[in-house]
Structure 1
Amino acid sequence: MTGADAGESKARPRRRSAGFLSSRWADERELTDAIHGLVVGSGVMVAASLHGTLGQVVVAVVATLLVYWVAERYAEVLAEGVHGRALNRRRIGQALRRGWPMLQSSYAPVVVLLVTSALGAELPGAVLSALGLSTALLAGIGYDAARRSGTPVGASLLWAGGTALLGVAVIVLKLALH
């Protein structure tokens, strides 16, 4: 956090949200990572489900998100070195923790995929259920972020809808491909 950032956060107190996401992802970077995790995981789920089995879809989602996470974390650590900051265990550990929401956000849709499949849903239906949850989570993140910034409820609902459109786009892609 730079001096300017610290001054801004003192001038504008963070609003607390009633949303369940407020305690999980505390800042804009974490929310960004969570959105990326949901959208990338959803996209991979759609692509892998075209010709794969349930196990292959789960492995594809988890492996792809791990690769994205490692690449992003590696880039951040590398960038710190470029700026002349010494790379040590503490800095590397901080960098790894900062990107964790990318992986956290993908857990629930994968669980829904597995549970709906275990309950007898065919793979396309189970994927659609998981994508529905991803879309709802995206809407929740959009709403929560807007409310934290002091946006009125009505406008926050518009932000929720806009963020949910990312999930809707993935669902439309799934329906177009199947």
Structure 2
Amino acid sequence: MAGAEQLERPRLVRRRAGHLYGLVVTGSVLAAAPETIGLVRLALVLVGTLLVYWAAESYAHWTATRTLLGRALHAEERREVVTDGLPLVAACLVPVAVLVAEAVLRVPTGAGVRVALLTNTALLVAVGWRMSTAGGVRGVARVANAAGIGLLGAALVVLKYTLLH
């Protein structure tokens, strides 16, 4: 690899994959949340968890990019590596907003987590639909792709209410 311009396609792939991965991690945190945690505290744990994942992923990409280029990264390349991972963190913002709104409305924690987990599952389906559409997938295959990604969220719901709690 000779420069930053050759990193364009991997950057776009990382951004799209990061958003999907962020929703899966978000769902995992929601599924593992105990009924005794407050909704605001859970929102903070969720953001904190995604920030840790973002830092780890950014470090891994930074190191791998530096290794492939065989040199230290330039300022613009460092900025790109760090900012390209932000969709992973941004993925949790809607579920976090749901949790905070529920806390303001004094929704019980159990019900609030269920709504946030179902919201996250709906977001997975929507992202699956958008990614399929952007990839030129049409018809039944597009529905199957969106449903397949949605099954990740459904699996987390099943785990939460059968095996985890």
Q: Would you say same fold, with TM above 0.5?
A: yes
Structure 1 Cα separation of the partners of residues 12 and 125 of structure 2: 17
Q: Which residue of 1 aligns with 2:150?
A: 164
Q: Which residue of 2 aligns with 1:154?
A: 140
Q: Is the 8 A contact 2:132 2:145 kept in 1?
A: yes
Structure 2 Cα separation of the partners of residues 124 and 97 of structure 1: 34
Q: Is the 8 A contact 2:121 2:153 kept in 1?
A: yes
- Aligned: 1:73 with 2:58: yes
Structure 2 Cα separation of the partners of residues 169 and 97 of structure 1: 30
Instruction: Give unmatched runs, 5+ long, in structure 2.
Output: none
Q: Write out aligned runs for 1:3-152 (5 A).
A: 27-83=12-68, 84-152=70-138
1:52 maps to amino acid: I
Structure 1 Cα separation of the partners of residues 83 and 135 of structure 2: 24
Q: Which has the higher contact order (CA 8 A, sep 6+)?
A: 2
Matched positions, count: 157
Per-residue deviation at 1:166? Answer: 0.7
Per-residue deviation at 1:96? Answer: 0.9
Q: CA RMSD in A?
A: 2.2
Q: Is the 8 A contact 1:147 1:153 kept in 2?
A: no
Instruction: Give unmatched runs, 5+ long, in structure 1.
Output: 10-25
Q: Is the 8 A contact 1:36 1:102 kept in 2?
A: yes
TM-score calculated relative to the size of structure 1: 0.79
TM-score calculated relative to the size of structure 2: 0.85
Q: Is the 8 A contact 2:27 2:121 kept in 1?
A: no
Which structure has more helix as a fraction of its residues?
2
Task: Please give the secondary structure, in 2, of the residue aligned with 1:172.
Answer: helix
Moved more, 53-62 or 120-129: 53-62
Structure 1 Cα separation of the partners of residues 19 and 130 of structure 2: 13
Per-residue deviation at 1:59? Answer: 2.0
Q: Which residue of 2 aligns with 1:14?
A: none
1:38 maps to amino acid: L
2:53 maps to amino acid: Y
Per-residue deviation at 1:153? Answer: 2.7
